Amino acid sequence: MDFIYEYKSPVGRLLLSSDGEALTGLWIEGQKYYAATLSTDAEKQETPVHLKAASWLTAYFNGQAPEIDFPLKPKGSSFRQAVWEVLRSIPYGATTTYGAIAAQLSQITGKGTSARAVGGAVGHNPISIIIPCHRVVGTSGKLTGYAGGLDVKQTLLELEKQEK
């Protein structure tokens, strides 16, 4: 059973989902793959993990770099899980490229990984913002695809440059 909670943010309405113990989703209204991993019987109910995530989001949107002190449980293949784990290691205010993530995964797994495959996993990240897929840019540093829209990606990156 999934539980959902809505959060109003400077980048639009966010939908958070949890299984009651861990955060399983965070989507920006209107984004690509919106609520893609959410069960059809999801119930609108506030949980303690929703409140912790909401507190984290409030600090984040106030220009702080909060620690994640609640469990995350994104749903996806083992490859996507590995990509999302690498995303979590990108420091606040920093960016990296799809190619750099592919190289890092290749070192970890001993298997070749393409930037295109990484891009697919990044694009399907079910916990936007908290698993910071917005910190991944093109090789030239140019902003490239973001499920929530390039305007939102730009806003998040600019926010992180103004840490308080």
Please compute Rg for the chain using Cα positions.
15
Residue 67 and residue 46: Cα distance in Å, rounded? 21
Which residue type, as a one-letter code, is found at position 71?
Answer: P
Other CB atoms within 10 A of residue 153 CB: 21
Q: Of 57, 122, 133, 152, which residue is the catalytic one? A: 133
Active site residue 64: no
**Closest by Cα among 142, 33, 24, 39 to 84:** 24
Residues annotated as part of the active site: 133
